């Protein structure tokens, strides 16, 4: 008997996320769009994350759990989950964010109507550890705008994207780039002739917390970004004077303390 595939798969890496994990899981399981599989990889958490995940799997058959043999990082966990996906579309989700109720429905319909797009994201509502709204983050919509600006900053919000599995498989999944594995993937996708887009919709409540890697060490994340920009900026189709100036300015930011870099980043990107 042939088992019918789900229309999409949600993948979530988890590491010591007990404080916000249940909210994140519930926001997916309570989506208006129900035809999905929910694949979660626990990267050897030492808090109560594993128990929260166990209960979720017992209460909803769409939840499928995996656990790494040792703590291996986000990139490894994501690639492991990609290998388990049987659906044609992959939705990313982080263990501390909250998906808005129609997120999956809107993204699935968008991808069905735009076969030229390999990955699509959307806007973010920024929240703090107590679910208070701090601001909004808006992303460029059209492929033309994204391609023109993508060397200045990452054009998509990683935890808010939907991706075509066929394209991600063709490129070999994520490659290791601490703090910027998503940006590296977007650059490789564009380099190989595929398009990116953002829905004109707020899809996710994105949480800023002290536990995030980028919040703890902004300088390392910034350095990873600069290395990627150096790798791609002189490639055909990527160069612009503005992008070159942005990269030079980022070198100056490396001289500042992490907290000041984060403050400047927030002021520029959140409204």
User: Does residue 2 belong to any structural domain of this protein?
Assistant: no
pLDDT tens readout for residues 18-30:
999 999 999 999 9
Q: Is the pTM of this model over 0.85?
A: yes
At residue 214, the pLDDT reads 47
At residue 2, the pLDDT reads 46
Q: 162, 111 in Cβ contact below 8 A? A: yes
User: Does residue 114 belong to any structural domain of this protein?
Assistant: yes
User: Does residue 21 belong to any structural domain of this protein?
Assistant: yes
At residue 8, the pLDDT reads 97
Structural element, H or E, at residue 231: helix 218-232
Quick one: tokens of 127? 């929240």
At residue 111, the pLDDT reads 98
Strand 195-207 and strand 117-127: pairing?
parallel
CA distances to 15, 43, 44 from 70, rounded to whole Å, are 11, 7, 6
**Stretch 137-163: mean pLDDT, rounded?**
94
User: Does residue 1 belong to any structural domain of this protein?
Assistant: no
User: Is pLDDT above 60 for 176?
Assistant: yes
DSSP alpha helix (H) spans, 96-211: 103-113, 143-149, 165-170, 181-191
Highest mean pLDDT among 1-5, 59-63, 237-241 belongs to 59-63
User: Does residue 143 belong to any structural domain of this protein?
Assistant: yes
User: Is pLDDT above 80 for 265?
Assistant: no
The number of distinct structural domains making up the chain is 1
- As a whole number, the mean pLDDT across the chain is 91
User: Does residue 3 belong to any structural domain of this protein?
Assistant: no
Domain at 202, CATH number: 3.90.550.10
User: Does residue 73 belong to any structural domain of this protein?
Assistant: yes
At residue 221, the pLDDT reads 83
* Segments forming the whole domain that contains residue 192: 8-269
DSSP alpha helix (H) spans, 132-174: 143-149, 165-170
At residue 219, the pLDDT reads 79
């Amino acid at each position: 008997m042939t088992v019918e595939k789900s229309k999409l798969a949600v993948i979530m890496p988890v590491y010591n996320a007990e404080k916000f994990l249940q909210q994140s899981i519930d926001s997916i399981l309570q989506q208006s769009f129900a035809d999905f599989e929910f694949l979660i990889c626990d990267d050897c958490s030492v808090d109560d994350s594993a128990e929260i995940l166990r209960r979720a799997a017992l209460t909803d058959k769409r939840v499928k759990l995996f656990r790494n043999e040792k703590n291996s990082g986000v990139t490894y966990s994501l690639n492991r989950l990609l290998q388990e996906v049987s659906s044609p579309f992959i939705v990313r989700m982080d263990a501390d964010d909250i998906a808005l109720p129609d997120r999956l429905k809107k993204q699935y319909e968008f991808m069905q109507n735009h076969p030229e797009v390999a990955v699509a994201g959307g806007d973010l509502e920024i929240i703090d550890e107590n679910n208070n709204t701090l601001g909004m983050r808006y992303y460029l919509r059209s492929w033309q705008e994204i391609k023109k600006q993508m060397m200045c900053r990452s054009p998509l919000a990683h935890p808010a994207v939907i991706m075509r599995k066929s394209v991600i498989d063709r490129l070999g999944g994520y490659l290791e780039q601490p703090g910027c594995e998503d940006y590296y993937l977007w650059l490789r996708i564009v380099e190989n002739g595929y398009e990116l887009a953002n829905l004109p919709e707020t899809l996710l409540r994105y949480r800023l917390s002290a536990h995030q890697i980028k919040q703890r060490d902004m300088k390392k994340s910034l350095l990873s970004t600069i290395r990627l920009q150096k790798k791609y900026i002189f490639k055909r189709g990527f160069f612009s004077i503005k992008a070159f100036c942005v990269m030079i300015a980022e070198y100056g930011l490396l001289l500042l303390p992490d907290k000041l870099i984060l403050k400047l980043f927030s002021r520029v990107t959140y409204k």
